[in-house]
Amino acid sequence: MAEAKHARAGEGRSGSGRPPPWGPLAIAVPALLVLASPLSSVDLAYLLRAGQTMLDTGSVARTDLLSFTARCSPWVNQQWGTEVVFAAIFRLQGWLGLGVLRAGLAALTLWLVQLACRRRGAPERAAAWLTLLSAGLLMSTFGLRAQLVGVVCFATTNYLITRPERRLLWWAVPVELVWANTHGSFPLGLVLLGFSALRDLQARRSPRTSIAVLLACAGATLITPFGPGVWSYVRHLVTDPLIREVVVEWRRPGLDTYAGVVFLLSAAGSLVVFVRRRSDLPWPDWAQLAFFLLLGATAVRNGAWWGLVLPVTLAPLARVRPEQTGRAAADGMGSMRKWTAWALAAIAFVALLPWLPHRNADPPGRLLEYAPAPLTRRLEQVLRPGEGFINPQAWGSWFELALPTHPVFIDSRFEVIPDETVRASGRLTRAEPGWERTLAAIPARVLVISRQTQPVLAAEIHGVAEWTRVYEDEDGIILVRAGGSAPPLEDCD
């Protein structure tokens, strides 16, 4: 602690005694990039639809009403808390509220990372660079979906662990309670607390508080509408081979995605640091890094947890030695913070401008991806009341929000959608041999094809006389089966 205080007292002073704004810049710049980028409907839209249903009914959704292939099936809706919060904000401020929420959650995450780095002894400038490292690793994770709430919970728990006042660690219990009701990554909070207990043992401190909080957090994970069922939900997602086969973010990281590239580069860099400075950190720190490195190597989406742990764990290596304090150069003017604040405010206003007209539920055009608005309007006219239809998987979530009375064939909830439906959707998308028989077996009259995600099917469907094209645009095609009819939908008790 003494070294950290010396570091904060002596580093980065300007001529007027005010340090340059390294910390705020490292948080604000990535958050503004997030604000300026479009939202994706792939997971977000079904969260909004489910949340709206729960707000209307006053009860937690437990059966599937969004698809006709899994209709009335039990649904362990572990993310119900996220759905309710997102839907409430959407009702209050529309897409504007969601855009601001996403940027705010990203900024909160990076602020917690920076605080944790500072608590572990990193000077302000070093903590800022470590925060930017985290931002780079997390940038593809800053989409507005349930995982982002899990990221904030992870960052909060990781920060609480760095606090010297062990009584504050008890705040991890309500965090874990929220986490268990918002995203399936909640077991990682217990992992962090387990490594905290190992650090206590290594430092010859009593691990009683860490262990007691760990046990309390484990109990908190059961306080959900589904009780221990949330653990079954997590086990299914982690062990289902079909999910790893069809979902890119569940595959091992490689050079074909941004998240995979930055993960592999950071993993290589961390190995270099370990070889050169392995004696400068206690073994529990290296063990924790190894755990999350291996976890990140199992799936692209798990790189998010690595991006939160890596900077905080390496922060002590950036400590300023006592003899170095007070030697930092005067590298900024006294008014730097003021001008930086004005510049960031101006950039934030510019980034916010495109969102301001969208304080309602109308699609915000280019600010929302995987949301074909003109095609959706025509589709609503083609469909009969309550009729389900065959859709591209990437558009399923959007259709569930935009056409709430029409159940879809498939969406992104792979824990609910039957495996055979997932496989059938894949065969259609790739137009594999026998795809015509697969299509003929689906009890639906209307077919929607995405030019972006189903280009092969869009080309092959020309030769099938049974299907008549009734609409097409740059996004996709709507076709109707000759003489087709959809079976009536059953009511769920």
Pairing of strands 39-40, 368-369: parallel
Residue 217: what pLDDT?
Answer: 97
**Furthest CA-CA distance within the chain:** 85
In which band, very low, low, confident or very high, does the pLDDT at 18 lie, cut at 50, 70 and 90? Answer: low
- 448 pLDDT exceeds 60? yes
pLDDT per residue as tens digits for the range 120-143: 999 999 999 999 999 999 999 999
Residue 488: what pLDDT?
Answer: 64
Closest by Cα among 393, 475, 466 to 426: 393
Distance of CA 214 to the CA centre of its chain: 24
Residue 16: what pLDDT?
Answer: 44
Residue 342: what pLDDT?
Answer: 76
- 258 pLDDT exceeds 50? yes
What sign results for the dihedral spanned by CA atoms 288, 315, 180, 140?
negative
Residue listed under structure tokens 């792979």: 414
Residue 434: what pLDDT?
Answer: 93
Which helix (DSSP H) or strand (DSSP E) does residue 480 occupy? strand 476-481
Residue listed under structure tokens 């905080």: 312
CA geometry: angle at 491 spanning 489 and 493, to 5°? 155
In which band, very low, low, confident or very high, does the pLDDT at 8 lie, cut at 50, 70 and 90? Answer: very low
Judge whether 457 and 429 are in contact, CB under 8 Å. yes
- 333 pLDDT exceeds 70? no
3-class SS of residue 212: helix
Residue 66: count of CB within 10 angstroms of its CB: 24
In which band, very low, low, confident or very high, does the pLDDT at 4 lie, cut at 50, 70 and 90? Answer: very low
Q: Retrieve residue 423's tokens.
A: 């496989």
- 206 pLDDT exceeds 70? yes
- 252 pLDDT exceeds 90? yes
Cα–Cα distance for residue pair 220/179, rounded to 1 Å: 9
Residues 6+ apart with CB under 8 A from 311: 113, 117, 130, 131, 133, 134
Strands (E), 89-141: none
- Name the residue ranges covered by the structural domains of the chain: 2-324, 370-481
Question: Helices then strands (H, E): number in the chain?
Answer: 20, 5
Cα–Cα distance for residue pair 42/104, rounded to 1 Å: 20
Closest by Cα among 74, 55, 54 to 64: 74
3-class SS of residue 471: strand
- 332 pLDDT exceeds 80? no
Q: Retrieve residue 44's tokens.
A: 């977000």
3-class SS of residue 257: coil
Cα–Cα distance for residue pair 250/238, rounded to 1 Å: 9
Residue 2: what pLDDT?
Answer: 44
Residue 178: what pLDDT?
Answer: 98
Q: Running DSSP on this structure, what letter comes out for residue 408?
A: B
In which band, very low, low, confident or very high, does the pLDDT at 346 lie, cut at 50, 70 and 90? Answer: confident
Cα–Cα distance for residue pair 55/88, rounded to 1 Å: 8
Cα–Cα distance for residue pair 34/239, rounded to 1 Å: 32
Full-prediction pTM beyond 0.85?
yes
- 487 pLDDT exceeds 50? yes
pLDDT per residue as tens digits for the range 75-115: 999 999 999 999 999 999 999 999 999 999 999 999 999 99
* Average pLDDT, integer, range 392-415: 95
In which band, very low, low, confident or very high, does the pLDDT at 164 lie, cut at 50, 70 and 90? Answer: confident
- 331 pLDDT exceeds 60? no
292 burial class (0-12, 13-18, 19+ CB within 10 angstroms)? buried
pLDDT above 70 covers a percentage of the chain that reads 90
Closest by Cα among 262, 276, 255, 253 to 310: 262
Instruction: Return the higher-pLDDT residue of 216 and 12.
Output: 216
Residue 323: what pLDDT?
Answer: 46
Closest by Cα among 102, 169, 191 to 138: 102
Judge whether 403 and 411 are in contact, CB under 8 Å. no
The percent helix, strand, coil of the chain (3-state, each to 5) is 65, 5, 30
Instruction: Return the higher-pLDDT residue of 164 and 187.
Output: 187
pLDDT above 90 covers a percentage of the chain that reads 79
What are the residues facing 40 on neighbouring strands? 369
Residues 191-212 as b/e (b if ≥16 CB within 10 A, e otherwise) read: bbbebbbbbbeeeeeebebbbb
In which band, very low, low, confident or very high, does the pLDDT at 12 lie, cut at 50, 70 and 90? Answer: very low
Read off the amino acid at residue 280: D
- 433 pLDDT exceeds 80? yes
Instruction: Return the higher-pLDDT residue of 13 and 485.
Output: 485
Judge whether 478 and 448 are in contact, CB under 8 Å. yes
Closest by Cα among 141, 161, 180, 118 to 34: 141
Cα–Cα distance for residue pair 149/141, rounded to 1 Å: 11
